[in-house]
Amino acid sequence: MRLDGRTVVVGLSGGIACYKACEVVRLLVGAGARVPVIMTAGAQQFVTPLTLQTLSGQPVATDTFNLTQESEIGHIRLADAAECLLIAPATANVLAKLATGIADDLLTTVMLATRARVVLAPAMNVHMWEHPVVQENLARLVARGARVVGPATGALACGYEGAGRLADPADIFEEVSAALVPQDLAGEHVLVSAGPTQEPVDPVRYLSNRSSGKMGYALARVARRRGAVVTLVSGPVGLPPPPGVQLVTIATAAEMADAVEAALAPATVVVMCAAVADYRPRRPSARKMKKTPGTLTLELEPTRDILAGLGARKGQRLLV
C-alpha cells in the first residue's frame, strides 16, 4: 500500500527492539510517507538519532526542552502534523505513562497533545507482558481507541521464550496502513476462500492445480485493513498469513467445504476465490502405488459443489 503524502510520526522508547524499529521507518518511507521520529532517552541507548535521521530524512526530536526543536513549540507541531502516531517499541514503562496521562518527556507529551490515530507495538520480557498491570494499562489504551500490533512469540533478547518480541516490521506497517484508511467495512464479517485443494491419489501423490492463492490473500488483507473481521479458509499455498486475519488451513475439497460451512454463520460477505477441485479419486490407495507397465486409469468422482450450496442459502449475505 502506498502512503504518499501521509505523515506518520514514529516514537521509539527504550528497548532492545529499537533496532527493528529502524526497518519499520524504512518501510514507511519507502511507501512514500513523511516520517518524523521521536526518541526517548532510553531509545538513544540502543540506536542513535543519526541512524533514524538518515533513514527518515527528517530531523529526529529527542528533547522537550531543546531550544532549537522547541523554537516553534515542536511537540505541538509534531502532534498536529501526525495522521498516525506509531510507538515501536512500546515498553511497559511507556504504556504505563500513556495509560495514566503522564507526560514527562517529548514522546508522552506528543501522545497527550495529538488527535491522530495511535498504533502501539509492545515489546518487553514475557513476564512483564503477562503482568496484570501491563494488561490493564493496555486495555485502557485500547478502550480509548489505540490499535495494538503484537507482540510476537519466540526467543527474547533476555533469554526467555514467549510473548514479548516486537511484531514483524511488515505487520507493523500493515497496522499503520489500516489506521490510515477509512474503516468502511467495520461491522462486516468477511469470509474468503483461497488457494488450491489437493485430492489424494495415494499417501504421497495428489491431484491439484496451480492456484497461488494471491487473490484471496490480497482481498482478505484489504478487507481487514478496511475494518472487517476476516476469516480466510486457505488451501496449501506459500504465502504468509495476512496480519489480523483468522486463518483456517485445509487440504482437500471436502475439508474446504466443511471449513466454509463452519465459518458461514457470522459472515455477512462471502468471497470464494479458491480453486477447488471438481473431481477426486474415488478410491485413494492406502499405500504408495507402484509403477507398472502400461497405462494407469484413475476413477474420479465429483466433489461437493461448495458455491452452489452457498447460493441456495445465502440469505442477506453478499456472495461473490
Q: What is the torsional sign of CA 155, 134, 227, 25?
A: negative
Query: Which structural domains are found in the chain, ordered by start?
Result: 8-180 (3.40.50.1950), 189-319 (3.40.50.10300)
Q: Is 114 helix (H, G, I), strand (E, B) or coil?
A: coil
Q: What is the per-residue pLDDT for 47?
A: 94
User: Above pLDDT 90, what percent of the chain?
Assistant: 75
Residue 297 pLDDT level (bands cut at 50, 70, 90): confident
* Vertex 141 angle, CA 86 and 161, to 5°: 75
Length in residues, the chain: 320
Instruction: Using the CB atoms, write b or e for 210-249: b if 16+ within 10 Å.
Output: ebebebbbebbbbbbbbbbbbbbbbbebeeeebbbbeebe
Contact 13, 87 (CB under 8 A): yes
C-beta neighbour count of 56 within 10 angstroms: 21
Q: For 71-103, how does the pLDDT look when each residue is reduced to its tens digit (9 = 90+)?
A: 555 678 888 888 999 999 999 999 999 999 999
d(CA 31, CA 90): 23
Q: Which of 18, 22, 84, 158 is catalytic?
A: 158
Q: What is the pLDDT of residues 169-227, one digit of tens each?
A: 999 999 999 999 999 999 999 999 999 999 999 999 999 999 999 999 999 999 999 99
Which residues, 6+ apart, have CB-to-CB distance to 72 below 8 Å?
none
What are the phi and psi torsion angles at 279 (to 5°)?
-135, 160
Model confidence over 144-184: pLDDT tens digits?
999 999 898 888 777 878 888 899 999 999 999 999 999 99
Beta strands in the chain (DSSP E): 8-12, 37-39, 60-61, 84-90, 117-122, 147-148, 152-155, 161-165, 189-194, 199-200, 206-207, 229-234, 246-249, 269-272, 279-281, 300-302, 318-319
Tell me the three cell numbers of residue 198: 489437493
* 230-247 pLDDT per residue, tens: 999 999 999 999 988 999
Q: What is the mean pLDDT of the chain?
A: 91
Angular region, 239: left φ>0, alpha ψ -120 to 50, beta rest: beta
CA distance 288 to 298: 14
**For residue 68, what pLDDT is reported?**
58
Q: Is-catalytic flag, 18?
A: no
* Collapsed DSSP state (helix, strand, coil) of residue 84: strand
